[in-house]
Chains A and B, each alone.
Chain A
Amino acid sequence: MDDILQIFFQECDEQLQELERGLSALSDGESEHETVNAVFRAVHSIKGGAASFGLDNLVRFAHVFENSLDGLRSGRFAPTHDVVKVFLKAMDVLSDLVNEARGGATVDSARVAESHAELADISGTGSNQNASQAATTEDVIPADFSPVPMDFEPVPADFEPVPFDFDFGEEEAPPAAASLLVTFRPHDALYERGDDARNILIGLADLARECDGEILTTCDRSALPPLADLLPDKSYLSWQVVLPPAVSEDNANAVFDWISEDCDFSIVREGAEAAAPQEPTIEQPEPAEVVAVIPPVEDHEAPPPAPTPSVAHPVQILSPLPAPATPDAHPGPSPAGSAASSTANGAAQTAARKPEQASIRVDLHRIDDLMDLVGELVIAQAAIESLSRRTDAAGQHELVQSISSMQSLTRDIQDAVMAVRAQPVRAVFQRMQRVVREASSMTHKDIVLTLEGEDTEVDRTLVEKLTDPLTHMLRNAVDHGIESPEARIAAGKPAEGHIVLSAEHRSGRILITIKDDGAGINRQRVFETAVKRGVIPADAVLSDDEVNNLIFMPGFSTAAQVSNLSGRGVGMDVVKQAIQSLGSRITISSIPGKGTTFGFSLPLTLAILDGMLISASGSTMVIPISSVIETMIVNQSDVYALPDGSNVISIRGDCMPLIPLATVLKLSNSPPPDSLDASVILVVENESGARAALIVDEIRDQTQVVIKSIESNYRQIFGVSAATILGDGSVSLILDVSALVASAIGHIDIKPSNIRAELAA
């Protein structure tokens, strides 16, 4: 059961996402039927699964939620702004309840109750014209949802007796001495629905067998036409079955549970009135003879003793669940049931201990693609093998060709594997809705978050790492980006703030932007704050962009009023670090009065990198191509020596430090040559756009490399971010360009650059 519980929780996550997606579509004014249905289905599924595992809190809340959504679905009220708001809040509660069921933190019952009341309120006020519906949406789980008392007691974890539960014999069966006489005549419809009189007979025989009795069956073939006239789809036969006295009417009734409308039947105790009852149904083909309608409730509350023929049968059951369905009006959890419940709890506890889901769902066609490629790979390999045995020149040529096609195949396989690992950013993006919702309610702002490009896919390891930085950035946008409603109105803007979170593919990377329509960064204030905090000297001369970037400085916070929101422990410097560790940098653009846009780009995967192979002092190293701006040969006249022995180079008027790679990394002991003329340099750029020129011995190749950790078995090395394994099996280091640039700039003591260096750090 544990594994199914796991599946259930996984599915809850998916359903919650679905719910979030649907609700945000609703709040965007879309009210298509399918959207509403999907939302309803999501909650409905969670409820259904939760009920199977006896997750009472969850079932109860989901049920109320579902009822409210049903009101929306059936058009009893419209998805107004307020209604959607209540639903969104309920979704958060539901999500927390799922988490609770998983073993997470207990949800504050007041919160649940509040949301509960709001939900009830919606459907209540929305369905004035339908009083009975309003009643259902109060606290009541309809009796047939599960045969549990109406007073909102927890649904017992075990499975309740259901209609065809045949074995509640002993206590139920009235100690009747007389045999039970069952007669029935199926309509054509019974057969049309895949049922068969044989099923009924066997059902009745089973009942008899439970009481160690036998049935006595008589088939009435009087209606059977001559063979020539016989229509195979028609029903011509009827049966009379005598059951042992121990069989109760209820149990016999249960056999007819599904076919009460497709079959004339009567169930009578033999004895005083034995002769009478057969007539009405057997002889008459029409069910018009229905004598009475017995409400199911009465039927099982007190099984009528020896019913009179005129009253009891045939029973036309109008209730959704026929009487015999719940023969026991107050089912207590059976011993077996409580055992089941404790296992369910146990399962929940084990589930809590398990970390993040270790499995992913992959589209079948992606696996198929991969399989196809692997098939091709096997063929290509065989070709190479046979070609390598040939010694003629033509064979050599073909071999080279085969190897190059093998190369492209490998690249395709790599892409296919990445596609398998890829996940849409949707999951993370949708979580941000809640972040914004909570943050705006805390700051008393009215803010709408719009998501764009949620289907953009990135490597799943990256998806997970996005959550924290995005959370902080959005909180920051809510807290500092968007103004208070009053200020907005004063500025002639709509009171409702707007934030757009978007993802898109751009040149092999994923670009993520967070755009708000707030006041923009107050550069004056940022600058003053930075000076006050000693982050920069008061006489620093900074470009607008540099001022913007000050907010990422450690120790910086727009101190005037740190709200309890973005002031919660982490600053934007942490965000910047997190983004950097994902191999990106944050860019800011801000227009006063119009808003601020943060952007950063992510590689499609963290596992593979496009790199330039260079050598320095005999070592082959890799530089990420993304950070290389250009490569060139040094002209000595562009180089200026600084007093401390370092050099700067002017490239088209742009001055930047020269970094002799081998020396900086202490790979070579020999001092750098006097003249740098004709040296090969790579102009590289770090996250904040600061540049430096790396002096290398040689540029060897451009290639894709697989990133391997070096720290797992060693320590962090300055200037090195990771390592890789080259084609010959040797280890090659991947350079950390930002660190190299930062340190080079740091060595040169020019004030604005110094700040740049710190910004880049």
Chain B
Amino acid sequence: MTEQTELKEATDTKIVKMIVFAIGVQEYCIPILSVREIRGFEKTTTLPFAPPYVCGAINLRGIILTVVDLAVYLNVPPQTDNPRRVVVIVESKNGVVCGLLVDRVIDMADINLNDVQAVSEDGSCLGGLVLVDNRMIGLLRLETVVGQLVTDTISE
């Protein structure tokens, strides 16, 4: 919710450039401004007590960050044999950097926030749905994902 209002504030026209990617058969998008880079999926270092959706840690030019398997996170069957899987490196508003493992990056889209249909659940990672070229695309709430990554309690 906050993210959306902030997004609205960020632009007068309420049009936000988003990067669209696929997880399984679903499509999701995040603001392009939060993306730092996109890189191939490489071996990660397993982290103790990590939640199942955390693949592990990687080294991004001296910074250590974790990679989130969005398929697991979103409860979508992952395509492990898909060679087009890439890691989208994102930075949250409070400066936390992490990687999002997605099945493939599709394209960029200008999304009018007025067109976004809210989904009822508050605090969910899904900020809403929007129709682009007859494709239903989910708005991923980056801050929710990152927030969980940083603060989730260890489930021993």
A718 x B45 contact (CB < 8 A): no
**Quick one: which of B117-154 are within 8 Å of A by CB?**
149-152, 154
Known: A723-B57, A731-B57, A733-B45. A718 touches B154 (CB 8 A): yes
B-binding segment of A452-460, A625-633, A705-713: A705-713
Query: Which of A712, A715, A723, A732 is within 8 Å of B149, CB to CB?
Result: A715
Bound Cα distance A713, B59 (Å): 12
Interfacial chain A residues near B44, Cβ < 8 Å? 731
Tell me how far the C-beta of B58 lies from the nearest C-beta in chain A, rounded to whole angstroms. Answer: 6
From A729, which residue of chain B is reached at the shortest CB distance? B59
B48 x A725 contact (CB < 8 A): no
A720 x B152 contact (CB < 8 A): no
Interfacial chain A residues near B64, Cβ < 8 Å? 708-710, 713-714, 723, 725, 731
Q: Is A730 an interface residue (CB 8 A)?
A: yes
Chain A interface mostly: loop
B57 x A715 contact (CB < 8 A): no
Tell me how far the C-beta of A668 lies from the nearest C-beta in chain B, rounded to whole angstroms. Answer: 10
Q: Is A244 an interface residue (CB 8 A)?
A: no
From A730, which residue of chain B is reached at the shortest CB distance? B45
A713 x B97 contact (CB < 8 A): yes
Bound Cα distance A708, B97 (Å): 14
Q: Is B26 an interface residue (CB 8 A)?
A: no
Interfacial chain B residues near A732, Cβ < 8 Å? 45
Contact flags B42-63 to A (C-beta < 8 A → 1, else 0): 0111111110000011110011
Query: Which of A619, A665, A709, A714 is within 8 Å of B66, CB to CB?
Result: A714
Tell me how far the C-beta of A144 lies from the nearest C-beta in chain B, rounded to whole angstroms. Answer: 57
Interchain pairs with CB closer than 8 A, number: 72
Interfacial chain A residues near B109, Cβ < 8 Å? none
A713 x B96 contact (CB < 8 A): yes
Interface size class of A (residues with CB under 8 A): 20 to 34
B45 x A714 contact (CB < 8 A): no
Query: Which of A667, A709, A731 is within 8 Å of B48, CB to CB?
Result: A667
Interfacial chain A residues near B43, Cβ < 8 Å? 730
A720 x B57 contact (CB < 8 A): no
From A662, which residue of chain B is reached at the shortest CB distance? B48
Interfacial chain B residues near A729, Cβ < 8 Å? 59
Interfacial chain B residues near A353, Cβ < 8 Å? none
**Quick one: which of A724-746 are within 8 Å of B by CB?**
725, 729-733
Q: Is A314 an interface residue (CB 8 A)?
A: no
Bound Cα distance A731, B50 (Å): 15
Q: Is A717 an interface residue (CB 8 A)?
A: yes
Q: Is A660 an interface residue (CB 8 A)?
A: no
B49 x A725 contact (CB < 8 A): no
Bound Cα distance A718, B151 (Å): 13
Bound Cα distance A715, B45 (Å): 15
Tell me how far the C-beta of A275 lies from the nearest C-beta in chain B, rounded to whole angstroms. Answer: 87
Q: Is A666 an interface residue (CB 8 A)?
A: yes
Bound Cα distance A730, B43 (Å): 8
A619 x B49 contact (CB < 8 A): no
Q: Is A481 an interface residue (CB 8 A)?
A: no
Q: Is B113 an interface residue (CB 8 A)?
A: no
Interfacial chain B residues near A715, Cβ < 8 Å? 149-152
Known: A708-B64, A725-B64, A730-B59. A717 touches B45 (CB 8 A): no
A713 x B49 contact (CB < 8 A): no
Q: Is B65 an interface residue (CB 8 A)?
A: yes
Interfacial chain B residues near A731, Cβ < 8 Å? 44-45, 56-59, 64
7 A-B pairs with the lowest CB-CB distances in the bound complex, closest first: A665-B48, A731-B45, A731-B57, A713-B65, A725-B59, A723-B64, A714-B66
Chosen A-B contacts, 20 in total, with CB atoms closer than 8 Å, are: A619-B46, A667-B48, A710-B57, A712-B96, A713-B65, A713-B98, A714-B57, A714-B64, A714-B150, A717-B47, A717-B49, A717-B50, A718-B154, A720-B48, A723-B64, A725-B62, A729-B59, A731-B44, A732-B45, A733-B57
* Other A-B pairs, 20, CB within 8 Å; known A667-B46, A731-B57, A731-B58: A618-B46, A619-B45, A619-B46, A665-B49, A666-B48, A708-B62, A709-B64, A712-B96, A713-B66, A713-B96, A714-B47, A714-B66, A714-B150, A715-B152, A718-B154, A723-B57, A723-B64, A731-B45, A733-B45, A733-B57
Residues of A within 8 A of B (CB): 618-619, 665-667, 708-710, 712-715, 717-720, 723, 725, 729-733
Residues of B within 8 A of A (CB): 43-50, 56-59, 62-66, 96-98, 149-152, 154, 156
